[in-house]
Structure formats: C-alpha cells, structure tokens
Amino acid sequence: MADFLYVFRGGTYQQLSPEQMQKHMQAWGTWIGELSKRGQFKAGDPLDPGGKQVKGKKKVVVDGPFAEAKDLVGGYLLVTADSLDDAAELARGCPILEVDGSVEVRPIRKM
C-alpha cells in the first residue's frame, strides 16, 4: 500500500440546476464514502480560489494564483492504494469528471 494525492482542477457548476447540484454533491458523498469504507480515505479538503504566492529570493508576496477556471486547484484528497494504476483507476469514479474537471494523481514519495 502507498499514499497518493488527488489534485482536483476545474469543474463547472454554473449550468447545473439546484437539483442537479444536489445530486452531484451526493455523488461526491457516495464516492468518498466508498473510499472511506475500504479504509482508503485519509484526508481531504476543498480550497478557496485565490490566495497568495510567495516568490523568489526576495520573498515577494503577491496575490494569486489567477489561473483559468479549468486549471484552478479546487481541492485535494489523500488516499491509500495498492499502486499508481490502482489509484488512477479509483480516480475514474470521481464525479468531477462529469462536469469537465480533472483529477491529477500523484504518488507521495517514501523516505
């Protein structure tokens, strides 16, 4: 077993009706609930858009990121899986894919 980070980007909800939004949220609940039942869910949080970036040797603090909506990171999840392939397979069940979003699957490096 190894740990993996899911990074969620994009996903547009503006065109959904209230009922569709609720169904979408329930789909997330079901997906994360199943990960959790199998003991694969470790942590996860949504991220606010915007924030600050600290850059360079001068340690300049600037506002941002101002990425395009489809590139903006909206949240992350920490899961355990047997392999990278297994983690990617699990990510295929993520509801964000239904609304034009993406999941980046990254193995956490072991010491």
For other proteins, the closer CB: 65 or 74: 74
Q: 2-31: buried (b, 16+ CB within 10 Å) or exposed (e) per residue?
A: ebbbbebbbbeeeeeeeeeeeebeebeeeb
Query: Which residues are near other proteins by CB under 8 A?
Result: 8, 13-14, 16-22, 24-26, 28-29, 32-33, 36, 41-46, 74-75, 77, 95
Residues in the chain: 111
Q: Are 63 and 52 in contact (CB under 8 A)?
A: yes
User: Of 39 and 107, which CB lies nearer to other proteins in the complex structure?
Assistant: 39
Cβ proximity to other proteins, 50 vs 62, nearer residue: 50
